[in-house]
Amino acid sequence: MSKLFISPSPHVYEDTTVKRLMFDVVIALLPALLFSVYFFGMGAIIVTLTAVVSCLAFEWLIQKYILKEEPSITDGSALVTGILLAFNVPTNLPIGIIIIGSLVAIGVGKMSFGGLGNNPFNPALVGRVFLLISFPVQMTSWPVPTGFSNSYTDAVTGATPLGVMKEGISAGEPVSAIMDKIPGHMELFYGHMGGSMGEIAALALLLGLGYMLFRKVIKIHIPLSIFLTIGVFTGILWLVNPESNADPIFHLLTGGVMLGAIFMATDYVTSPMSVKGMWIFGIGIGIITVAIRVFGAYPEGISFAILIMNAFVPLINMYVKPKRFGEEVKNG
Amino acid sequence: MSATILFTIISLSAIGATAAIILYFVAQKFKVYEDPRIDQVDEILPAANCGGCGYPGCRGFAEAMVKADDLSPFYCPVGGNETMAQVAEVLGKAVEAKDPQVAVVRCSGSPAHRERINSYDGASSCAISSSLYSGETGCQFGCLGLGDCVDVCDFDAIYMDEETGLPVVIDDNCTACGACVKACPNVIIELRKKNKKDRKIFVSCVNHDKGGVAKKACKVACIGCSKCVKVCPFDAITMDNFCAFIDANKCKLCRKCVAECPTNAILEINFPPKKVRTETPEKPKVEASKPVRTSAEKAGTIGEAKPEETPARPTGENKNETK
Amino acid sequence: MLKTFPKGGVHPAEGKYSANSAIEVLPLPKQVSIPIAQHIGAPSKPVVTKGDKVKVGDKIAESTGFVSANIHSSVSGTVFKVDKVLDSTGYKRPCVIINVEGDEWHESIDKSTDLKKEISLTDKEIIHRINESGIVGLGGATFPSHVKLSVPDGKKIDVLIINGVECEPYLTSDHRLMLEKAEEMLVGIQILMKALGVNLALIGIENNKPDAIEHLEKLVKDYPGIEVHALKVQYPQGGEKQLIKALINREVPSGGLPLDVGAVVHNVGTAYAVYEAVQKNKPLFERVVTLTGKSVKKPSNFMVRIGTPVSYLIEAAGGLPEDTGKVINGGPMMGKALNALDVPVVKGASGILIMPAELSQRKKEVNCIRCAKCVSVCPQGLEPYLLNRLAQLEKNDKLETDGVMDCIECGSCAYTCPAGLPLLDYIRLGKSRVSQIIRSRKQ
């Protein structure tokens, strides 16, 4: 017999590991990736590969040569960041810009705070917002989805439905007229529209949500609270004046709401710990998103909304505590 | 146009002036009087905030000293007598010089001497390990080897020797703040009087088991045989519950006990080796081939920050003139 | 919908290999070492010395206070010595070591196995007898039972809860006891009800023991006031607070005791020991111990005399498996790893679990990813990730306000942590620091 091991209890462990959780997220992202490849063709593949490889490479380089620690790229978190970054950019984005975005996402968004688990902001969104501000033209020339045969950079570009809507409303056109210029709700649902690579297919993203819930990777609270808030908020606006506000279904299906609510806002590291906190976080994201969409200068605001609410997470964690057992005595 | 500019300048200046007036009165109202000597004393202190003095940080210590009538209960282990003399000068009070101290690790239970009979797999902390069981070896008094003392040291004065698994104190860095003494759950670290050239003689064992049990668990344990007590010409050694203890204040570093100890539990550090050989040539346990036993690698305390760069051991002409 | 507690909880693999092994009486060992501190509270004082002859059931150490318990000899023979011996706490502690000679029982013990139903003693006498017999909580906490039965003035108890949950994976000693000694146990429950002056006793059993539930449900028809409740399988349902919440939906206030909500909880093993002590005048000197593990040849439930070396049990179950990596006294969630195999079985030992080497080591630690799994499994509604951090930083006052003292050390957080962090290690450390501070504050 060899030496006995001694450790404090417990002595058994669940087989969940950080790696497994991350790869479950990757699996959940696959349907959306397939839809994007179907709609955007080669561009989607090139953008995803570039983002993933550069994210992994930057993480490895930073850990190895700057932080001088054991590289931990196999844990899958950089892979998730890479895919999410790719999902958040148009498929005709030049490779150089994607690499810059990856550097910002991993270097600034994640490693500068101490690596996995220590970053206050979602790294992929930090990268995306950095690119949006630095390269507004490239970042907002969305390719029109036509089919797989498309080549990479010379794709036909057009505006997103949200962009069309914003332009139309500010030009004073009635919503019903604008609606004729953009795809119907059913088409929006399965993603036949222009936009960032991974945000278009609500159907695929919802499939991913279902998978993650099934595998207990995330809880429903954050996506649900975001959907409800956006639905209610835009619903009220729509009921008040249907001719100058789009309907709630349109708001939920377009832009990055699905991608943001399901994959970006639920990022463990940057979301609150308690269920109550998750609701506050989700409602905050919903309100800020709609505010930016309806009243702001950008047609889409969920990236900013998530980043803003990320900043509130430590505060939420500090003040919103789960109810403790035996805290209020109620004998029944 | 100019009206707008004028209006802006006037209104902003007015707001600024009002705020300044309010701030002035608020500052006056809530002013806290603080003895200016506290700042002066605080300046003198080493700003290590180690808590070795027993107060929360240097400022707390300064406040306490300024308030006190007598400085004798106060001592800054980091700054030592020099700092205390300066403080006394500022405060116009007298202070007595105290002997400088150094932390000493009283355990030599390296794997070679103390067999590991199980392996600990919990969080790497001595406090957790000791709350769980008596440790990886058969000795329940010695070093647990998980480095809580290293974690608490603010002065980089202690490190874990990878080979022996024991903490090693770097005498030149040690300020005797006592943090490691408090952190060690088995209380194997002791603050002892600092001698010339960092020489020290101490019993490197704290176990209270009976001789046979102790010897079985660790080859270099103190077995409570009391030989050292008998041989000591200065009555510096006492025997308590099967473990010898050398009073550093009474010990004159004659090294008679070192030669007498049957288990090599008493260590001599930073002595010239030649003398050892000539004094006790017939004693097998201090053979010339194993001078290592008394040197830094084995002992747990060394006089140099980088042991590997030190030649064989610090000798008389060593630059180690700490005191 | 089966009852359970509402917040948190995990469901580790059950591994109840020994569930179908009937209780075997283990032959006597050659020597027993009986620790004098086997319970929570003041250690007992030995009343025998080297060379004394003792019989089974003789008192060998005396209770030294209200929260303390007598200790009786589990064998007959000669006291070899009273010395410090390594026990299951991992430290050398005083034990009475007895060389076994024959098996002569104290005259007053009724050795017959007939069921004795009518209860002749009054409530005061019952409590006295329980105190004399050295009965402690046999679920593992080893809190002296007479203390729980002595209800302070001004508190009203209206329900007795019997813990047959056995939520720890692997362990089956309570399960077998409920199957094989059910009638005795039910009489024991009636004795406890009489001592407390309550008319209602609820037995909580997890639904993974359907045979025990069925068996008891049949029997309780003859015992008025006793009810059997099946509970959903969920760890840590065997925790007092969780069990009370699950069965009668009352929440023991933070820092309070079950009697603050009018309930007293006893383990099924304790109920059986109470029966033996009161009806048969037999002090607590033996108990059922499960010996199990994935690679144990013969997973068993033994009736073991207190003080028997663990290695003796292991031999009886087919020897120590080749691949042993860890031997645990208790269940895998809250048990304590043993650092030697010759330590004695004590009153609180409900099982000895032998883990194969590949399951003995912890997961590799990585950074906390703030996944909040620990928060959602904590049955006490605490934030383990935060307490872990605070304990590492020694922020003791913050630990106290964040409820570290409410932690029941069930280990659900560390069990579930995907990053493999030693959450409970540090929380336990913080808890002991904070409780020291609280104690010094009271003085």
- DSSP string covering C284-338: S-EEEEEEEETT-SS-EEEEEETT-BHHHHHHHTT---TTEEEEEES-TTT-EE-
Q: Tell me which chains share at least 3 CB pairs under 8 Å with chain B.
A: A, C
Residue B309: how many CA atoms within 13 Å on its side-chain side?
Answer: 4
Interface test with B, best of C425, C427, C433 (most B CBs within 10 A): C425
State the pLDDT at residue B3. 87
Report the C-alpha gap between C276 and C285 in whole angstroms.
11
Q: In what order do the strands lie in the sheet with B301-302?
A: B158-160, B167-170, B301-302
Kindly state the DSSP code that residue B147 receives in the 8-state scheme: -
C83: phi then psi, degrees, rounded to nearest 5? -150, 170
Domain boundary among C303, C338, C361: C361
Report the C-alpha gap between C140 and C125 in whole angstroms.
26
Say yes or no for a CB contact (<8 Å) between A8 and B128: yes
N- to C-terminal Cα separation, chain A: 54
B9 touches chain C (CB under 8 A): no
- Look over chain B and give the mean of its residue pLDDT values, rounded to a whole number: 81
- Nearest Cβ partner for C339 among B122, B123, B133: B133
In this structure, is residue A71 part of a structural domain? Answer: yes
Res A71 pLDDT > 70: yes
Q: Do residues B107 and B188 make contact, with C-beta atoms less than 8 angstroms apart?
A: yes
In this structure, is residue A37 part of a structural domain? Answer: yes
Report the C-alpha gap between A2 and C355 in whole angstroms.
13
Domain boundary among C337, C361, C385: C361
Instruction: Give mean pLDDT, residues B270-294.
Output: 49
Instruction: Give mean pLDDT, residues A67-90.
Output: 91
Give the residue among C258, C228, C300, C304 at the shortest CA–CA distance from C143.
C258
Q: In terms of domains, do A315 and A167 share one?
A: yes
Q: In terms of domains, do A88 and A177 share one?
A: no
Question: Max Cα separation, chain C?
Answer: 64
Q: Which two tokens stand for residue C151?
A: 């209800």
Give the residue among B271, B263, B248 at the shortest CA–CA distance from B104.
B248
Report the C-alpha gap between B13 and A71 in whole angstroms.
56
- Nearest Cβ partner for B133 among C90, C425, C432: C90
State the pLDDT at residue C421. 93
Domain boundary among C306, C330, C361: C361
Chain B residue at shortest CA distance from C432: B131
Interface test with C, best of B116, B129, B134, B152 (most C CBs within 10 A): B134
State the pLDDT at residue C136. 93
Q: In terms of domains, do A252 and A290 share one?
A: yes
Q: In terms of domains, do A105 and A234 share one?
A: no
Q: Do residues C222 and C150 make contact, with C-beta atoms less than 8 angstroms apart?
A: no
In C, which residues are within 8 Å of A7 by CB distance? 326, 337, 362
Strands (E), C48-110: 53-54, 59-62, 71-72, 77-86, 92-100
Q: In terms of domains, do C274 and C385 share one?
A: no
Q: Which two tokens stand for residue C294?
A: 């994935």
pLDDT interval class at C276 (50, 70, 90)? very high
Kindly report whether the peptide bond that precedes residue C236 is cis, defined as omega within 30 degrees of 0: yes
Which residue range(s) make up the domain with A227? 159-195+218-319
Q: In terms of domains, do C220 and C249 share one?
A: yes
B86 vs B74, B130, C437, CA distance in Å? 13, 42, 36
C155 touches chain A (CB under 8 A): no
- Nearest Cβ partner for B122 among C86, C422, C432: C422
A185 touches chain C (CB under 8 A): no
Q: In terms of domains, do A67 and A129 share one?
A: yes
Among residues 174-213 of chain C, which lie with CB inside 8 Å of chain A? none
Q: In terms of domains, do C293 and C420 share one?
A: no
Report the C-alpha gap between C227 and C224 in whole angstroms.
8
Residue recorded with tokens 């057992």: A325
Range name among A11-20, A155-164, A255-264, C371-380 with the lowest pLDDT average: A155-164
Res C293 pLDDT > 70: yes
Tell me the shortest Cα–Cα distance from C40 to chain B, in angstroms: 16
Say yes or no for a CB contact (<8 Å) between B118 and A6: yes
Res A308 pLDDT > 90: yes
- Look over chain C and give the mean of its residue pLDDT values, rounded to a whole number: 92
Res B321 pLDDT > 80: no
* Amino acid (1-letter code) at residue B48: A
State the pLDDT at residue B198. 84
What are the percentages of helix, strand and coil residues in chain B, rounded to 5? 35, 10, 50
Q: Do residues C203 and C189 make contact, with C-beta atoms less than 8 angstroms apart?
A: yes
Q: In what order do the strands lie in the sheet with C77-86?
A: C31-35, C92-100, C77-86, C53-54
Say yes or no for a CB contact (<8 Å) between C92 and B134: yes
Kindly report whether the peptide bond that precedes residue A145 is cis, defined as omega within 30 degrees of 0: no
In A, which residues are within 8 Å of B130 by CB distance? none
Fold of B38-91: 3-methyladenine DNA Glycosylase II; Chain A, domain 3 (1.10.15)
Q: In terms of domains, do C357 and C379 share one?
A: no
Predicted model pTM: 0.86
pLDDT interval class at B202 (50, 70, 90)? very high
B144-152 long-range contacts, CB within 8 A, separation 24+: B144/B185, B144/B186, B146/B120, B148/B183, B148/B184, B148/B185, B149/B179, B149/B180, B149/B183, B149/B184, B149/B189, B150/B180, B151/B183, B152/B179, B152/B180, B152/B182, B152/B183
- Nearest Cβ partner for C91 among B127, B128, B140: B140
Q: In terms of domains, do A122 and A26 share one?
A: yes
Q: In terms of domains, do A184 and A95 share one?
A: no
B123 touches chain A (CB under 8 A): yes
* Three-state DSSP class for residue A311: helix
A291: phi then psi, degrees, rounded to nearest 5? -60, -45
Chain B residue at shortest CA distance from A4: B118
Among residues 259-298 of chain A, which lie with CB inside 8 Å of chain B? none
Say yes or no for a CB contact (<8 Å) between A8 and C368: no
Among residues 343-402 of chain C, which lie with CB inside 8 Å of chain A? 353, 355, 357, 359-363, 366-373, 375-376, 378-383, 385-386
In this structure, is residue A332 part of a structural domain? Answer: no
State the pLDDT at residue B284. 43
Report the C-alpha gap between C81 and B13 in whole angstroms.
91
A90 vs A149, A156, A267, B65, C237, CA distance in Å? 17, 12, 22, 68, 52
In this structure, is residue C44 part of a structural domain? Answer: no
pLDDT interval class at B91 (50, 70, 90)? confident
Strands (E), chain A: 4-6, 142-143, 157-158
The 3 state secondary structure assigned to A205-223 is HHHHHHHHHHCCCCCCHHH
Q: Do residues A86 and A98 make contact, with C-beta atoms less than 8 angstroms apart?
A: yes
Report the C-alpha gap between A41 and A146 in whole angstroms.
9
Among residues 309-328 of chain A, which lie with CB inside 8 Å of chain C? 317, 321-328
Instruction: Give mean pLDDT, residues A123-151.
Output: 83
Say yes or no for a CB contact (<8 Å) between C420 and A17: yes
Share of chain B above pLDDT 90, in %: 27
Residue C3's CATH number: 3.40.50.11540
Q: In terms of domains, do C262 and C145 share one?
A: yes
Res B147 pLDDT > 50: yes
Each residue of C201-232: pLDDT tens digit? 999 999 999 999 999 999 999 999 999 999 99
Among residues 48-77 of chain C, which lie with CB inside 8 Å of chain A? none
Chain A residue at shortest CA distance from C90: A6
Give the residue among C155, C161, C136 at the shortest CA–CA distance from C264.
C161
Res B191 pLDDT > 70: yes
State the pLDDT at residue B172. 86
* Amino acid (1-letter code) at residue A244: S
Residue recorded with tokens 């550097």: A103
Q: In terms of domains, do A125 and A172 share one?
A: no
Tell me the shortest Cα–Cα distance from B228 to chain C, in angstroms: 27
Neighbours of B165 (CB within 10 A): 19
Q: In terms of domains, do A120 and A191 share one?
A: no
B173: phi then psi, degrees, rounded to nearest 5? -90, -25
Q: In terms of domains, do C294 and C427 share one?
A: no
Q: Where are the domains of chain B?
A: 38-91, 101-309
State the pLDDT at residue B305. 41
Which residue range(s) make up the domain with C219? 1-23+108-361
State the pLDDT at residue B296. 41
State the pLDDT at residue B306. 41
Q: In terms of domains, do C263 and C335 share one?
A: yes
State the pLDDT at residue A153. 56
Res C171 pLDDT > 80: yes
State the pLDDT at residue A154. 59
Each residue of C116-138: pLDDT tens digit? 888 889 989 999 999 999 999 98
pLDDT interval class at A152 (50, 70, 90)? low
Q: In terms of domains, do C138 and C231 share one?
A: yes
ipTM: 0.88
Q: Tell me which chains share at least 3 CB pairs under 8 Å with chain C.
A: A, B
Q: In terms of domains, do C137 and C265 share one?
A: yes
pLDDT interval class at C304 (50, 70, 90)? very high
Q: H or E element: which one contains B179?
A: helix B179-183
Name every residue whose Cβ is closer than 8 Å to that of residue B5 and which is 6 or more positions away in sequence: none
Say yes or no for a CB contact (<8 Å) between C254 and A327: yes
pLDDT interval class at B299 (50, 70, 90)? very low
Res A40 pLDDT > 90: no
Query: DSSP labels for A278-289?
Result: HHHHHHHHHHHH
Q: Do residues B77 and B48 make contact, with C-beta atoms less than 8 angstroms apart?
A: no
A158: phi then psi, degrees, rounded to nearest 5? -155, 180
State the pLDDT at residue C404. 93
Res C147 pLDDT > 80: yes
In this structure, is residue A223 part of a structural domain? Answer: yes
Q: Which two tokens stand for residue B188?
A: 């194997």
In B, which residues are within 8 Å of A11 by CB distance? none
Q: In terms of domains, do C346 and C395 share one?
A: no
Res A176 pLDDT > 70: yes
Number of domains in chain A: 2
Each residue of A236-282: pLDDT tens digit? 999 998 888 888 999 999 888 999 999 999 999 999 999 999 999 99
- Nearest Cβ partner for C426 among B123, B132, B140: B123
Report the C-alpha gap between C257 and B89 in whole angstroms.
58
Q: In terms of domains, do C379 and C355 share one?
A: no
Number of domains in chain C: 2
Residues in chain A: 332
pLDDT interval class at A92 (50, 70, 90)? confident
Res B214 pLDDT > 60: yes
Instruction: Give mean pLDDT, residues C322-349.
Output: 91
Residue pairs between chains B and C whose CB atoms are closer than 8 Å: 40
